[in-house]
């Protein structure tokens, strides 16, 4: 914490970067931290590798985020000028695409604050806590340690959002008494939990709910293993005018089935040349190891992601073979 404070005190131009396709925790931690550092008198900008879903576009200060995909020159100038760069909610420069090279070649100090396993050694200061449920809770701890009097409603809303989304609304095993204490303090500081919940979860368009219907009717259950999987084709996405973020959370539905230990979703994005995969598990099934071993991915024990560069059909086939290799990991 002292080292972190030294980095902050000795810098003026700060850039904060979330991972690509930022989720509630990535944006919540970045925006909460930005508001805090701005209050400390720092010139602070959040630079996102790309765009993010509509259901996050109400978050305080999100309108000032620089989208590196839309305005690469601006993003590269900011990173080039920075004297301090924060990498939040990721631990591998591969998770921020082209920004990775800019961070590496920048003369700025780099601080990583993250809760994923197996951090890569690219930062000057690495705060890595895989046992934490969210990066936003880590940022909360940093703010409380540095100057808790600066906590305000905007910061509180951002951090609440990140903690809520990454703990599955406080139900994943990573949720601790400290998480609930943090959330209580954030509510006292002005986070309106019911509004935040509504903004994130009750903001479906009709098309998005129809896509959930398609996903659920596509769900298949394995005969011999406690596994369900969903696939969504490009045509199916197109039939509901797919937009970024539409499939967020769909994978979790599989775990509502009694006895199921692994739920998988495979979503075809042929224009990007890939099938995006998400894995969610219950108990000890290592979703992150499975994602890393077979689908160029990673994440956490119970929530991981990955990617396949084959067709959707071939990806399903590969998955069905791969899961047999992990049969002994089910309890």
State the residues that interact with Mn ion by CB under 5 A.
25, 89, 135, 166
Q: Which of 17, 50, 271 is nearest to 123 (CA)?
A: 17
Other beta carbons within 10 Å of 293: 15
228 belongs to the binding site for ligand 5GP (CB under 6 A): no
User: Least separation, in Å, of the C-beta of 303 and ligand 5GP?
Assistant: 5
306 belongs to the binding site for ligand 5GP (CB under 6 A): yes
Q: How far apart are CA 255 and CA 223, in angstroms?
A: 16
Q: Which of 8, 59, 303, 312 binds ligand 5GP (CB under 6 A)?
A: 303
Q: Which of 192, 234, 255, 307 binds ligand 5GP (CB under 6 A)?
A: 307
Among Mn ion, ligand 5GP, none, residue 49 binds (CB under 5-8 Å by kind): none
Q: Which of 142, 281, 297, 323 binds ligand 5GP (CB under 6 A)?
A: 297
- Site size toward ligand 5GP, by CB under 6 A: 11
Residue nearest to ligand 5GP (CB): 305
Q: How far apart are CA 92 and CA 94, in angstroms?
A: 5
Among Mn ion, ligand 5GP, none, residue 28 binds (CB under 5-8 Å by kind): none
DSSP strand pairing (298-299 vs 303-308): antiparallel
Specify the DSSP element, H or E, that contains 149.
Answer: none
Q: Which of 19, 85, 77 is nearest to 52 (CA)?
A: 19
Q: Measure Cα distances from 96 to 72, 153, 252 in Å.
A: 13, 29, 25
User: Least separation, in Å, of the C-beta of 189 and ligand 5GP?
Assistant: 26
Match 């305005």 to its residue by tokens.
Answer: 71
Q: Would you say 77 or 309 has its CB closer to ligand 5GP?
A: 309
- Which of these segments, 190-198, 223-231, 236-244, 301-309, binds ligand 5GP (CB under 6 A)? 301-309
Among Mn ion, ligand 5GP, none, residue 25 binds (CB under 5-8 Å by kind): Mn ion
Q: Which of 297, 66, 31, 57 is nearest to 162 (CA)?
A: 31
133 belongs to the binding site for ligand 5GP (CB under 6 A): no
298 belongs to the binding site for ligand 5GP (CB under 6 A): yes
Q: How far apart are CA 72 and CA 51, in angstroms?
A: 12
Specify the DSSP element, H or E, that contains 299.
Answer: strand 298-299
Residue ranges binding ligand 5GP (CB under 6 A): 116, 278, 297-300, 303-307
């Amino acid at each position: 914490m002292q080292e972190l404070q030294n980095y902050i005190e000795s810098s003026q131009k700060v850039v904060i970067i979330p991972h690509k396709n930022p989720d509630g925790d990535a944006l919540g931690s970045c925006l909460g931290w930005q508001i805090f550092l701005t209050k400390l008198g720092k010139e602070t900008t959040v630079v996102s590798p790309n765009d993010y879903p509509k259901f996050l576009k109400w978050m305080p200060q999100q309108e000032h985020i620089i989208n590196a995909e839309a305005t690469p020159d601006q993003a590269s100038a900011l990173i080039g000028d920075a004297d301090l760069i924060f990498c939040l909610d990721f631990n591998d420069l591969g998770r921020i695409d082209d920004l990775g090279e800019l961070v590496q070649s920048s003369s700025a100090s780099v601080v990583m604050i993250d809760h994923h396993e197996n951090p890569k050694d690219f930062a000057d200061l690495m705060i890595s806590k895989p046992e934490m449920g969210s990066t936003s809770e880590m940022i909360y701890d940093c703010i409380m340690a540095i100057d808790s009097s600066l906590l305000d409603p905007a910061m509180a809303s951002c951090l609440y959002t990140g903690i809520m989304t990454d703990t599955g609304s406080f139900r994943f095993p990573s949720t601790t008494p400290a998480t609930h204490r943090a959330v209580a303090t954030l509510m006292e500081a002005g986070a309106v939990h019911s509004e935040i919940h509504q903004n994130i979860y009750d903001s479906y368009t009709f098309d998005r709910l129809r896509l959930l219907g398609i996903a659920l009717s596509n769900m298949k259950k394995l005969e011999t293993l406690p596994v369900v999987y969903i696939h969504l084709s490009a045509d199916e996405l197109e039939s509901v005018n797919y937009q970024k973020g539409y499939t967020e959370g769909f994978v979790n539905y599989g775990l509502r089935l009694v006895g199921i230990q692994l739920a998988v979703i495979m979503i075809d994005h042929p224009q990007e040349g890939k099938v995006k995969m998400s894995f969610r598990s219950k108990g000890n099934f290592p979703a992150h190891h499975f994602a890393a071993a077979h689908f160029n991915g990673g994440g956490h024990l119970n929530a991981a992601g990955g990617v396949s560069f084959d067709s959707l059909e071939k990806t399903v086939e590969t998955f069905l073979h791969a899961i047999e290799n992990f049969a002994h990991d089910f309890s």
